Chains A and B, each alone.
Chain A
Amino acid sequence: MHYTKLASMAVVVLVILSNVVLIVNAMKSYSSQGLTIKGTPISKWLKGFPKIYGGTLKVALPGEPNVFNWWTASSLWDLIVLSPIYSRLVRIINGTLAFELAESIEWSPDYKVLTIKIVKGVKFHDGKPLTAHDVAFTIDILSKKSWTYYHGYFLNVEKVEVVDDYTLKVCFKAPDAGFIYNALTVMNIMPKHIWEPIFKSMGDKVAKYSPKIPDDLVGSGPFKIAEYVPGQYVKYVANKDYWLGRPCIDELIYVFVSEANVAILAVQKGEVDAYVGWITPEVVPELLSTPGVAVHVFVSDTFYHWGLNNLKWPFNITEFRRALAYCVNREAIVKELLMGYGSVGNPGVVPPFGVHAQWCNRELLNKYKFNLTKAAEILDKLGFKDIDGDGWREASDGRDFSFEIYAPSYDVIRVRVAELISEWLSKIPGGGLKAIPKAVEWKTVWPLIKGAKVDTWLLGSGTGNDISWLLRRFHSRPEGTGNWVRYSNPIVDELTEKLVTTFDPEERKRIAYRIQEIIAEDVPLITLYYRKFPMPYRIDKFDGWFLAEDEPSVNFITLLRVHLKQYATAPTTQPTVMAIREAITTIIVIAAIIAIIAILLIRKRTWYK
C-alpha cells in the first residue's frame, strides 16, 4: 500500500516535471526571436561574366500571350512575357530561395506577422521610386480581390501595414508557413501609382481590363516593354537604370512561332537564338550536329501519375492498389516511351529535384520495383484469381472483372502509357487483370474524374513551391479540389495540416518525410514520371546562359547575364543586306507572277485562232 502510494506520487511528480520542461521549452521558443528567413542574395547568380553590352536576343515562343494584365494573367505565355518587366521580393533560383528586392524577411515569434524590409533606391521604369507602399498595395489587392490569379496564395493575409518607406508588416489570420515560397516567389511588385487610379475608377472590372501597352506596363524589372504586335512579337529594351546593373543585351524580342518544326529551323538558321517550346526528342541529335546550336534539357515538376479512384471498389482496397503499383515498370516508361527525357516517379510523389529536393524522401525512390510475381501473390491473397481458366483474373466474388484507364487523346505519351500498363497487367502470372486503355477528349472526361465516377486515369498534376502543396493533393477535405483520387487518411490529414502551421524548417522536413512514407505505403495514386524537355539555343553569338536543372535556358537570370560573345561580329551590316535581299526577292516574285499572268493572257489570244 505504502509503496503503491509512493509510486503513484512519483508518477504524478514526474508527469508534472515533464510538463514543466515542455512548457519551459515552449516558452523558450516563444520568447526567442522570431524566425529569420535565410536565402542567398540574387547578386550571387550574377557574378563572373564579362560585361559586354549590346545585341538583340531573339527567342521563339510557340504560344502567344493573351492577357497583359498581370492580376489575371494565367497562361504560361502570359507569365513568360510579363516576367522581364517586373521585380519580385524573392525568387526560386536553381532550387533555392534567392532574395531579390527583399533585404530581410522575419516572422514574429507568434508567426502572425511577417516583417519585410526591402532594398532601397529601386526605381520603376517611369522614374518613380519603388517603396513598401507598392509592395503593400500588391499584397493588399491579391488578398482582397478574389478574381486575381494568385489570390489562393493570399487567403490567410489579414492586412498589410506600411511601417516606413522600406519596411512593411503582413498580418495573418491564420498561420501560413508556405507563404514565402508559395506567394512571395511568384508575386510581381506592381506600381501603386499606375494601378491605384485604375482600380479606383473600374473596381472589379479590372478583371476584364487590358492594359495599354506600354503605358500601363510599368515595372521595375530589367526590361521595359517597347512594342507588341499581336500575333507577331513582343519587343523589350534594356532598363539602363536597373538596380542590379543593366542587362547586357540591348533588346529582347519574343517572337511567336506556332509550328515547332519551323522554330527548330529558325534556331538552326540563326534567325532566333533560342526556342522555349516543346520539341520531340528525335530531333535532338540533328540539332546537336548543327554548328553553334546547343540543347538544354530541364525537368518539370508536374507529376504524371496513374490516378486510382479511392472511393470505388476494388481501388478502395490498399492491398489492391499496392499490387497495381508492382505492375508498373516506371523505369521502362522513362527509358523507352520518353526516350530518357524524364525522371522516374517517386512513390512518395514529391519530385527529387529543384526546390522540392529539400523535402523529398529519397529512401522511397526504390520502392515498388516492377515485380509481377509479387503482384500475383497479393492478388491471390485478395481472392482475385483466374477461376474459369480464361487467362483473366475474376473478382473475389467470382464475377468477371475489368476496369478502364483513361488517357487524354492529345498526349501521345499518356495514351501509350495506358496501353503499356494494360499490357503489363495482362502478363501477371496466374492470370492477368483486364484493363481497357481509353484515349479520350480530355474535357469530356474531366467532369467524370472530378465527380469520382471513373475507375482510373492518367493525369499530370502541378505541385507548388512550398511543400504544403501536399495538403491540396492528399487531404480529405469535403470539397476535394485537387485530391481527385479521394484519398482519405486521418493521419495524413493531420500531418498535412501541420505542414501549414509548422514553421521550423527541420520539423517541416520531418513531417514531409513521414507523409511521403505513408503515401508510398497507401498508394492512393501511382506516380509514374516527371517529364524532361529539350530546348535548343544558340551558343555562337551569345554567352552567359544560365542553365538550371528545372528551368528553360531562357529564364530571369539568363536575361540578366546573357551577352554577346567577345569575338562575335557586331550585327551592323546585316540589316542592309537583308533589306537588299528582301527587296530583290519581292521584285523577282512579283515580276514572275505578272509574267505568268501576262503569258496566260497573251497566249489565250493566239492558241485557238
Chain B
Amino acid sequence: MKKFLLRRLYTSIITFFIVITFVFFVIRFTGDPLAELEDDPRITPEVLDKIRALFGLDKPIHIQYIDYLVNMFRGELGYSLHYKRPVIDVICSKLPYTLMLLIPSITLSNYIAYKLGVECGWRRRSTFDLIVSSIAFTIRSIPYFWLAILFLYIFSVQLRITPLFGAISPGKGGFSLSLDWIMDYLWHYILPFTVLTLRASLALIPYVRNALIEVLEEDYIVTAHAKGIPLKTVKYSHVARNAILPVITIMGLRYAFLIDGAILTETVFSYPGTGKVVFEAIINRDYWLLQGAVVILTLSVIIVNLIVDLIYALLDPRIRYR
C-alpha cells in the first residue's frame, strides 16, 4: 500500500509540472492580453509599454517562465492583469460561494444518483425503472441553460416564491451569522442548488444503472442468491460495491472541477462564483489569473485522483496488491 501511494505521488508531481509548463506556453500563444487597449483612444503607446513593463510582459519568454516557476514555489500566483489584484485574492473572494453551492450539491447528487441508480438497475424494466430512467433521459437532453431559465420562470416569475438573481438581497451586506442573513442566503440558495443537484443526479443515474446491470449477470450473484444471503446484502455488498467502481471516478472528478464551477448556474442566477472568473480570464487573456486557476484546478484534479485511487484500493483489494 505504501509503495502504491508513493508511486502515485511521484507520478502526480511530474503530471503537475508538465501541466503548468504546458499551460504557461499555450496561453502565451493565444494572443496579446493588452490587444483590447490598443484601439482605446485614451491609451497611448507609451502607456501600453508601461503597463507591459509593470506586468513583466516586456521580458523575454524564458525569463517570464523562470519568474513564473520561482513565484509558484514561493506560493505566489501573481497579479491579475484585469483585476489588478493578487490572483489568490480574486479567486478567494468568490470561492466561498462556489464551495458552499457545489460541495453539498455534488455530494447530494452523487448520493441520489447512487441510490436511485442502484434501485433502477436492481429492478430493471420495472415501472419504477421506466419512470426514473425516462425522466433522467428527458432532463439530461434539455440544455442546462434552458432548464435553469425554466425553473427561474416558474418559481421566480410565475409563482414568485424565489428571487430572480444574486446570492443575497441587495443591501443585506456581506457574510454574517444573523438569522436574517442566513434566511436570505438560503432563500437565494435554494433554486440554483435544486437545479444543479437535480440535473447532476439525473445525469449520473444511467451510469450507475448500467454498471449495476452488468454486474447482475455475473455468476457470483447467482451464487449469492443460491446461498440464501438476504436480498439487501446481495444488493449493496455484492452488486453495488462491484458496480460502483467505474462510477466512483466520475463522481470523484466532479469535485476536482469545482473551481471551474457551475458557470452556467452562475450566469443564469447571477450567482457569484469562480466559474465566471475563470471564464473571463480566458476571454480577457488574463495570463496570470488563468495560470493561477489552472494551477489550482490541476492540483485539485491530482489530489482528487489520489483520493479516488485510495478509495478504489479500499473497495477493490486487487488494486492494492498489483
Q: Is A461 an interface residue (CB 8 A)?
A: yes
Bound CA–CA A146/B40 (angstroms)? 15
In the assembled complex, how far is the CB of residue A234 from the closest CB belonging to chain B, in whole angstroms?
9
Q: Given that A262-B152, A464-B41 are contacting pairs, would A233 and B170 also be in contact in the complex, using a CB cutoff of 8 Å?
A: yes
Residues of chain A lying within 8 A (CB to CB) of residue B42: 149-150, 152-153, 186, 464
Judge if B292 is at the interface, Cβ distance under 8 Å. Answer: no
List, in ascending order, chain B residues with CB within 8 A of A67's CB. Answer: 83-84
Contact B267 A586 (CB under 8 A): no
Contact B38 A58 (CB under 8 A): no
Q: Given A152-B43, A262-B268, verify A582-B32 contact (CB < 8 Å).
A: no
A255 touches B50 (CB 8 A): no
Interface residue stretch chosen among A124-132, A224-232, A347-355, A530-538: A224-232
Q: Is B93 an interface residue (CB 8 A)?
A: yes
Q: Are B190 and A604 in contact (CB under 8 A)?
A: no
Q: Collect the chain A residues with CB atoms within 8 Å of residue B32's CB.
A: 443, 446-447
The answer to whether A146 and B115 touch across the interface, beta carbons within 8 angstroms, is: no
> Does any Cβ of B come within 8 Å of A462's Cβ?
yes
| Contact, CB under 8 Å: A255 / B161 | no
Are B270's CB and A257's CB within 8 A? Answer: yes
Find the A residue at minimum CB distance from B145: A259
The residues in A between 424 and 455 inclusive whose CB is less than 8 angstroms from any CB of B are 443-444, 446-447, 450
Judged by a CB distance under 8 angstroms, whether A251 is at the interface is yes
Chain A CB within 10 Å, residue with most, of B93, B160, B165, B167: B165
Partner of B166, one of A232, A446, A450, A464: A232
Partner pick for A232 among B122, B162, B170, B232, CB 8 A cutoff:
B170
Tell me if B100 counts as interface (CB < 8 A to partner A). Answer: no
Decide: A253 and B170 in contact? CB cutoff 8 A. yes
* Docked-complex contact A253 and B39, CB < 8 angstroms: no
Which residue on B lies nearest to A58, using beta carbons? B170
- Is A223 at the interface (CB under 8 A from chain B)? no
Q: A482 an interface residue at 8 Å Cβ cutoff? A: yes
- Proximity string of chain B (37-69) to chain A, C-beta cutoff 8 Å, 1 when within and 0 when not: 111111111110011001000000000000000
Contact A232 B167 (CB under 8 A): yes
CB–CB B40/A462 < 8 A:
yes
Q: How far is the CB of A284 from chain B (nearest CB, A)?
A: 19
Instruction: Say if the beta carbon of B237 comes within 8 Å of chain A.
Output: no
Say whether B41 contacts A482, CB under 8 Å. yes
Residue A147 CB within 8 A of the other chain: yes
Question: What is the bound-complex CA distance between A147 and B37, given in angstroms?
Answer: 12
Contact for B47 among A147, A461, A581, CB less than 8 A: A147
Instruction: Assess the B41–A271 pair: CB atoms within 8 A.
Output: no
Instruction: Give chain B interface residues in 133-186, CB to chain A under 8 Å.
Output: 149, 152-153, 156-157, 160-171, 173-174, 180, 183-184, 186
A258 close to B267 (CB less than 8 A):
yes
Query: How far apart sit A250 and B205, CA to CA, in the bound complex (Å)?
Result: 52
Residue pair B167, A231 in contact (C-beta under 8 Å): yes
Most buried by B among A443, A444, A578: A443
A227-B173 contact in complex given A147-B54, A262-B270, A579-B183, C-beta closer than 8 Å: yes
Task: Determine if A210 and B165 form an interchain contact, defined as CB atoms under 8 angstroms apart.
Answer: no
Is the CB of A479 closer than 8 A to any CB of chain B?
yes
A56 within 8 A of B: yes
B35 CB contact (under 8 Å) in A251, A255, A443, A604: A443
Contacts of A40 in B (CB 8 A): none
Residue A416 interfacial (CB < 8 Å): no
By secondary structure, the A interface counts as mixed
B28 close to A (CB within 8 Å): no
Residues of A within 8 A of B164 (CB): 257, 262, 265-266, 269, 271
**Whole-angstrom distance between the alpha carbons of A479 and B119 in the complex?**
70
**A162 beta carbon closer than 8 Å to chain B:** no
Q: Judging by beta carbons under 8 Å apart, are B161 and A581 in contact?
A: yes
Q: How many residues of A contact B (CB 8 A)?
A: 75
Within 8 A of B (CB), among A305-364: none
Give chain A residues whose Cβ lies under 8 Å from the Cβ of B269. Answer: 262
Interface residues of B in 1-37 (CB under 8 A from A): 30-32, 35, 37
B276 CB within 8 Å of chain A: yes
Q: Which residues from A are CB-within-8-Å of B167?
A: 231-232
A contact residues around B169 at 8 Å (CB): 578
Judge whether B85 is part of the interface by a CB distance below 8 angstroms.
Answer: yes
Checking B31, B152, B186, B267 against A443 with a beta-carbon cut-off of 8 angstroms, the contacting residue is B31
Is B312 in the interface zone, CB < 8 Å from A?
Answer: no
Does B209 interact with chain A (Cβ within 8 Å)? no
Contact of A463 with B41 in the complex, beta carbons under 8 Å: yes
Q: Does A280 contact B (CB under 8 A)?
A: no
Query: B165 and A586: CB pair below 8 A?
Result: no
Question: For window 191-206 of chain B, which residues contact chain A by CB distance below 8 Å?
Answer: 194
Q: For B166, list chain A residues within 8 Å (CB).
A: 232-233, 255-257
- Taken together as a complex, chains A and B put the C-alpha atoms of A338 and B285 apart, in Å, by 30
**Counting CB contacts under 8 A, is B257 at the interface?**
no
Q: Which residues of chain A (147-181) have a CB below 8 Å from chain B? A: 147-153, 155
Check if A262 sits within 8 Å of B165, measured CB to CB: yes
CA of A283 to CA of B83, assembled, Å: 33
* Max count, chain B CB within 10 A of own CB: residue among A204, A232, A444, A589: A232
Residues of B within 8 A of A253 (CB): 170-171
Which residues of chain B are near A18, meaning CB under 8 Å? none
Minimum CB–CB distance for A55 against chain B, Å:
13
Cβ-closest chain B residue relative to A589: B190
Q: Are A146 and B47 in contact (CB under 8 A)?
A: yes
Decide if A475 is an interface residue (CB 8 Å cutoff). Answer: no
**Known A262-B164, A271-B164, A462-B39: A229·B84 in contact at CB below 8 Å:** no
Q: Are B232 and A608 in contact (CB under 8 A)?
A: yes
**A583 and B168 in contact (CB under 8 A), knowing A147-B47, A258-B266, A443-B32?**
no
Q: A231-B167, A604-B115 given as contacts; is B267 within 8 A of A259 (CB)? A: yes
User: Which residue of chain A is the closest to B277 with respect to CB atoms?
Assistant: A231
**B-side contacts of A583, CB under 8 Å:** 183, 187
**Considering residues A72, A208, A259, which has the most beta carbons from chain B within 10 angstroms of its beta carbon?**
A259
Which listed residue (B157, B173, B235) contacts A269, Cβ 8 A? B157
Which of A461, A481, A588 meets B45, CB within 8 Å?
A: A481
The docked-state distance in angstroms from the alpha carbon of A444 to that of B232 is 60
Bound-complex Cα distance A370 to B38 (A): 33
Q: Give CA–CA (A450, B48) in the complex, Å.
A: 15
Q: Is B231 an interface residue (CB 8 A)?
A: yes
Cβ-based interface call for A529 (8 A): no
Q: A152-B41, A484-B39 are in contact. List 15 more A-B contacts (CB 8 A).
A: A146-B46, A146-B47, A152-B47, A233-B166, A235-B170, A255-B270, A256-B270, A262-B152, A443-B30, A446-B31, A481-B38, A481-B45, A586-B187, A600-B116, A608-B232
Shortest beta-carbon contacts, A-B, top 10: A231-B272, A152-B44, A582-B187, A443-B31, A146-B50, A233-B170, A66-B83, A230-B93, A585-B161, A257-B270
Return 28 A-B CB contacts under 8 Å, by A number. A60-B165, A146-B46, A149-B47, A151-B47, A152-B44, A152-B46, A208-B54, A208-B84, A209-B84, A230-B93, A230-B272, A231-B93, A232-B167, A255-B165, A259-B165, A262-B268, A262-B270, A265-B153, A269-B160, A443-B35, A450-B35, A450-B38, A462-B39, A469-B41, A472-B41, A600-B115, A608-B232, A609-B231
